[in-house]
Amino acid sequence: MGYKMGCSFSEHGKTPSTAAPVLKKEGCCKCKEECCKCKECEAPKEGIEFYYFDMPLRGEGIRLLLRHACVSFVDHRVKMADWPALKGKWELQQMPVIIWNGKPFAQSCAILGFLGKKYGYLPSSPEENYEITCSMNIFEEIVTKCFMAFSEMSPLPEAVRKGLQGDVVDKDIPLLMGMVEEKLKAKENKEFLVGNQLTVADFYIMGIYQSLSMMPIKHVFEKSYPLFISWFNKRMAQVPPPAPPKPKLYYFDMPARGEMLRLLLRHAKVNFEDVRIKMPEWPAMKNNFPMKQLPVIEAQGKQFFQTDAMMHSLSLKYGYLPLEPMKYSKVIEACGIVKDFFEEFAKFVYKDFPEEKKKAWSEEFYSKKAALIIGALEKRLKENKTQDFMFGRRYTMVEFYVVCTAKWILKNPQFADKFAPILKHFPVFSAYMEKRLVDFPQLYIHRYSFQCLSLIHI
């Protein structure tokens, strides 16, 4: 794949430490100091979600404005294949759409006006507002003509498109772009299209030109309109790059094996999207995942699977696995012991075996094997001076295995009565388990019947 899975998590969900310069505004109503467009004070409590295609055009200016204002938002980049199923969600069945405090807003220019007013990119002068509208209309006309003539997505037949291309290059672009170039030439401050500060027109036109530059006419703009290209490059340099999308963890809404990944990511304070799949949804979704099973982590367009492989990678990334070979081996060994406990238990609880065998395995597990495995873990705890952790004085990968197994099996009301007399013989492990469970009070007891688990890979 070209890189380790852990490497793809390095900056997810975290604000870049060095960002391009942005406009400042004094008198923030919370901190009373200069801040980046009052993002903390003016962002809605329920957050911002933005829906548009995974391309520039009319929606890109909204993304650029929000990024320049340092506003945190969820950027839903809709694939063309997903659009037919999604379009019925919106009143006008079109995008862009921004969700602000749970309420949808549509129409790109209207959204830009709303955000411009909110974050100081819309001047109060009627004359400047008129100029903004004119500038945006010019580029709306340019992109419409270029799209119809040059884009492969144009609804026109290819012969008609080719017939239009000459007029667009020789007449339409020179007429419209000539107005823009002359306007910039006449301005003393060529940093901005309107007035002497950034406005919604700058963001809208930056987004439109990104789309134009993807067509086979980029050279026309670069050759003939140097002032515009200089303006575009300067403006783009001041927009922070888009935040990488949060990694997504796909797993069932239950604390089985995928819960270990949730625990580790939470403990490491990784900002990730916890996608909890309901059982009725699974049959329709399973073909979207490798091996048709979960858990799966999706990051930077890649899908990673196999619980143990992901646990190893994330533990190395976030410091839950020691690098010294002997210590590393001990942690992996302890994780294997916990897995043995789970596998022995699983054989007679949810796997599809004859009832006679399951009954015999159950009796052997509760009378011998459970004590043997828990005893092995207690022995390792006794060898550690603190006994608060399996090894050393901090979390290692094995803690996540233990917490998950304890909450799902050992402390589950369905089985607690059978494990209680066994755990009495292992006070060190029991005390250790209770301490670690306190670290994750948000965990919940398994709510699903174990019989249904034979239908999925846990």
Tell me the whole-structure pTM to 2 decimals: 0.56
For residue 402, the surrounding DSSP H or E stretch is: helix 397-405
Using alpha carbons only, how large is the chain's radius of gyration in Å?
29
Task: Check residue 346 and give its pLDDT.
Answer: 86
Task: Check residue 256 and give its pLDDT.
Answer: 80
Task: Check residue 368 and give its pLDDT.
Answer: 93
Side-by-side strand order, sheet with 103-106? 74-78, 48-53, 97-100, 103-106
d(CA 63, CA 72): 11
Q: What is the mean pLDDT of each run of 10 residues along the chain (458 residues)?
A: 33 35 36 42 68 90 92 87 86 90 90 93 91 94 94 90 93 95 91 90 94 92 95 91 84 87 91 90 90 91 92 93 93 95 86 86 93 95 92 93 89 89 95 90 43 35
Length of the chain: 458
Helix intervals (H) in 270-392? 282-285, 307-318, 325-349, 355-364, 370-382
First to last CA, the chain: 25
Task: Check residue 63 and give its pLDDT.
Answer: 94
Beta-strand pair 97-100/74-78: unpaired
Structure tokens at 120: 């100081």
Residues with Cβ within 8 Å of 387's Cβ and at least 6 positions away in sequence, in order, are 381, 428, 431, 432
Task: Check residue 225 and give its pLDDT.
Answer: 95
Structure tokens at 327: 């210590």
Task: Check residue 313 and give its pLDDT.
Answer: 93
Nearest C-alpha neighbor of 57 from the set 42, 72, 77, 40:
77
d(CA 412, CA 425): 19
Task: Check residue 47 and give its pLDDT.
Answer: 76
What SS3 state is found at 292? helix
Number of H-type helices and E-type strands within the chain: 19, 8
d(CA 177, CA 227): 11
Task: Check residue 44 and give its pLDDT.
Answer: 61
